Chains A and B, each alone.
Chain A
């Protein structure tokens, strides 16, 4: 006899499959599970609050895509900031807004060369505003593009991804300290120092949490870097790992790579200029061993000076401006939150004074 709605089954299963259930008290089980979960959850959140963490928006590709989309949605005439973590942490959007009357779109990404973002904006006719490009020499001239996926996310973001980003920013990120990739359980376990070292395996210490971020990606150095000397020392020890050239990269390879990045920058800036977009390079401050390593590996005359010369774009190097020096960089690479505000104010004044940037010039 044929079954009523199709399909032969080799087994002798009943016509309508019915899943069996365990003979246990599910209500009591759920009550115990929920209680234990809530206790564990609260303790975990408290642990990170005690460590000094406050809720912060995540510096995710989705957050970047949200800001990048503003250019498509009628804000293409605004100032856009790209670069690495120094522009991200050191340029404070509220201060910029106070000076210029306009809050820029923050598209800088940490630990990566901004070349891909520069090329992306150069190819986008909707972007007609002003562009500030932060230069961290070891990243920019090596072309290290750790966060290039952000652009792909913006281009290909699906409805599911966009709604996920929106829900995360609405329901989780503003409220929970533990909700940060630095405090994901596996990351925490992996970083414990009790694990024996395996001979022959290179142990690279990951960069730890450095900043706190707002919904529009305005970002500031985390206060713990200023107040907790042990944490500050950890951050410095992590930077020290980066001072030597990566294994297998010869000086000639590094030179060729830097040349390639210069060519990419020249081509992108030419496109922007042709569209009438003012472009400004910025070399934010660094200090201590970090600055020494940068000057040794990427001396100004072979990098920054060449970049300005070949692109024909103006630039602001912190070494050329006394008012941009002497500020506090707790871990050699980023300004403290308070000094980032001072830096931004002074930067804006230089832009205004020497390059004619004003609130008016950014309107379409």
Chain B
């Protein structure tokens, strides 16, 4: 299924004009209700700019969870409540299954049937994946699940709920915002204070810099060159390509969410962080508390814990961890390479859980050197998983791993010196920055700097964004 690359991207002229209009309307002297209607219409326009018919899918998901949650709240019988919950799950997962996994299931069914000597030629599954469906279906499911588990009341206003599902800054690639974080913000009038507007716009610049300059400008060409090679690569090239991808996917996704957070803040709304210096993580529990936080916490709260979490003995804990991470892998895309990616992360989490009581007490882990060594080991292991995430097939992944682990060092170099130096420099700066931000947030770091330094940094980022130009490339996570 080809990823769509034709949405209204944050890194596009259309979005700049769109956002200026939205910002102007939001600050116009209009009643709060009218401003919310404006935001809702703008969000639908934002989505429809890619493909108008798929707004209907968004409506279906919104309407079902709105009605299910309302009924769930007033229904007492466990049977009826379960039926209502199943309606929400079936609708959301049904949409996801049809659009995202239909082709994958049919294709694998044909392969499995072939293994038993049954010839089955499936019809061509030429269904376009609605942008952001994995994000908004998870957001609406969380709403119904909370009401089912009696953790929350349903929202009082359909407009607020619809805006929560559709709010354009985070609609197509998250963060997967929890209702409690956003819906209350729609209850009372709000526009950005001058400081919120100023910082929101600065975050947007930072996000676009991450996407346009670092992800697309510096790193994507290196990763594309290496993962696109058909022959065995020199170990340096295989490593640099993988490291470049580790940076590309971080700057691409973190760039999107930083822009989304800035965009919302410029309108007066607060969206939580989705990344916290993930490549400074020490171990994999730490990594998943820092990487795509809104998804990992969703999986923890709505899958891992309901499965029993760590409350049913060690064996069940390991099974629950593996199940959660395998499904987390599959969430990213309908391909076995994503399943392997999730499986490796599950294995790492299990291994860490097993090793911690046995080796965790050693004094060396408390030293700076020990922490840096563990962080580098974590980053090394994360990079092995990125190979499966990025490789278009298993033969490419096998070639890459073989070269990276020096099992075969006879491969060809493909990267020019510009690619080698630029990618290595960006990755080094990224790792140092993550280490520095390991225990603090961006705004805490920024407020230590004088205004001249901050202004110079942001002026330079703006200049780099404009001079890099950018090809209007889609964000990687749009395809998930």
Contacts and interface: CB of A to CB of B under 8 A. Distances in A.
Contacts of B201: 30
B451 interface: yes
Contacts of B422: 189
Contacts of B202: 26, 29-30
Contacts of A37: 459, 462-463, 466
A201 B198 contact: no
Main DSSP-derived SS at the B contact region: helix
B183 A29 contact: no
Nearest to B273: A19
B178 A9 contact: yes
Interface in A19-45: 19-37, 40-41, 44
A15 B14 CA distance: 35
B147 interface: yes
Pick the most buried of A21, A34, A160: most chain B CB atoms within 10 A of its CB.
A160
B50 interface: yes
Nearest to A20: B443
A4 B153 contact: yes
Interface string B443-480: 11011010110111111101110111101100000000
A192 to B, nearest CB: 8
Interface stretch (B279-287, B311-319, B383-391, B412-420): B412-420
Interface in A192-219: 192, 195-201, 203
A26 B198 contact: yes
B17 A186 contact: no
A213 B143 CA distance: 53
A168 B180 CA distance: 40
A186 B421 contact: no
B455 A6 contact: no
Contacts of A15: 180, 184
Contacts of A32: 451-452, 454-456, 459
Interface string A3-20: 111111110010111111
Interface residues of A, number: 65
Contact of A198 (B180, B182, B417): B417
A10 B178 CA distance: 11
Contact of B468 (A9, A158, A184, A203): A184
Interface in B375-431: 412-418, 420-422
Contact of A33 (B7, B271, B459): B459
Contacts of B33: none
Interface of A: 2-10, 13, 15-37, 40-41, 44, 156-161, 163-164, 167-168, 171-172, 178-179, 181, 184-186, 189-190, 192, 195-201, 203
Given A6-B147, A22-B199, A37-B462, 10 more contacts: A5-B154, A7-B151, A8-B152, A10-B300, A16-B184, A19-B272, A26-B202, A29-B455, A196-B417, A201-B413
Interface of B: 6-9, 12-14, 17, 48-52, 69, 142-143, 146-147, 149-156, 160, 178-185, 187, 194-196, 198-199, 201-202, 217-218, 221, 234, 261, 265, 270-272, 297, 300-301, 412-418, 420-422, 441, 443-444, 446-447, 449, 451-452, 454-460, 462-464, 466-469, 471-472
